[in-house]
Amino acid sequence: MDVSDLVIFEAVSRHGSMNRAASELNTVQSNVTARIRALEEDLGVNLFQRHPRGVSTTPSGQRILPLVARLTKLLADVRIAARDDGAPHGSLHVGSLETTTALRLSPLLTQFAKTYPDVRLIVSTGTTRKLLDDVINCRIEGAFVAGPVTHPDLCQETVFTEELVLVTSRQIRRMDELKDIADLKTIVFQAGCSYRQRLDSLLTGMGVITARPLEFGSLEAIISCVSAGIGVTLLPKGIVGPAWQDGRIAVHELPQDEGQVETLFVRRRDAFVSSAVTAFLQLARPRASGAPHAS
């Protein structure tokens, strides 16, 4: 078994295609196919099920995927640690909620790029569930997610505190009016968004019956649908300020215990902390609403 074979295995599993994996790895499909067959023979199991649309990872392959991710990340950390002297450099890949990116990260990213021009910073957005999975499986080095988070492999610290508000069309003047709307729709990000879960809990606690949620991939689409009276959503107050001021939506404040949410930066507990990660966090920490804590 060779580490490069495991890298190929991870790429094929992620893409579900030998051809797309070969393209990513700058090689030919026949080489990828041969290396996967050799790895399967070495392990004595089938790692992929072949079908006309590509391949799907077998249960055996799914079981080794987290180990492969940790191994390849460990090898990458060895290279980074060996060269990590002087000013921060190299690449830094972090993740963030779309709301956090839009509301909080612009000045941070600008300052980081100016202060550390030799670091290639990559920011991916996603839901809390997806970002946590990416960190745990070593696809990114850390992520801004909504708390609370409990996972033995992760360390975390509070970086921002957000005030969540219920957002409705202008026609809704009080939250208790929602009880009179039959099959109220919620306008949300895809499954795995923690704000979506909080919205469901809030409406259930109010005795509001909701229909199947409508999922969108952008903030503007969600706000536009709410403005049009299609449904309601739950978002940080700061992110909906412009639409509120323009009179496009109504904003309903929540009790503090329901409306306050911490945005955490999480990373793997066993990962090497590069100088780039350290520098990034040093810039992020002063923006915390309160004193950051680690756990």
> Tokens in use for 228?
């049009």
- Sorted by sequence, the CB contacts under 8 Å of residue 49 that are 6+ apart come out as 55, 56, 57, 58
> What are the structure tokens assigned to 254, written together?
């929540």
Question: CB–CB of 295/155 below 8 Å?
Answer: yes
Q: What is the pLDDT of residues 63-114, one digit of tens each?
A: 999 899 888 888 888 888 888 888 899 999 999 999 999 999 999 999 999 9
Q: How many other C-beta atoms lie within 10 A of the C-beta of residue 81?
A: 12
Residue-wise pLDDT tens digits, 59-76:
999 999 989 988 888 888
Q: Which residues face 192 on adjacent strands?
A: none
Contacts of 4 (CB under 8 A, 6+ apart): 35
DSSP state for residue 84 in the 8-state scheme: -
pLDDT value of residue 8: 94
pLDDT band with cut points at 50, 70 and 90 for residue 291: very low
In percent, how much of the chain has pLDDT > 90? 75
d(Cα 206, Cα 194) in Å, to the nearest integer? 19
Cα separation, 223 vs 189, whole angstroms? 11
| Alpha-carbon span 279 to 17, nearest angstrom | 37
Q: Above 50 in pLDDT, residue 290?
A: no
Architecture of domain 88-295: 3-Layer(aba) Sandwich (3.40)
The residue extents of the domains of the chain are: 3-81, 88-295
Sign of the alpha-carbon dihedral angle for 99, 106, 265, 122: positive
The predicted-structure confidence for 234-250, as pLDDT tens digits, reads as follows 999 999 999 999 999 99
What is the Cα–Cα distance from 133 to 289, expressed in whole angstroms?
Answer: 26
Cα angle 119, 124, 125 (rounded to 5 degrees) comes to 145
Third-level CATH fold of 3-81: Arc Repressor Mutant, subunit A (1.10.10)
Residue 295: band (very low, low, confident or very high) from pLDDT cuts 50, 70, 90: very low
Model's pTM, two decimal places?
Answer: 0.79
Average pLDDT of the segment spanning 260-288: 91
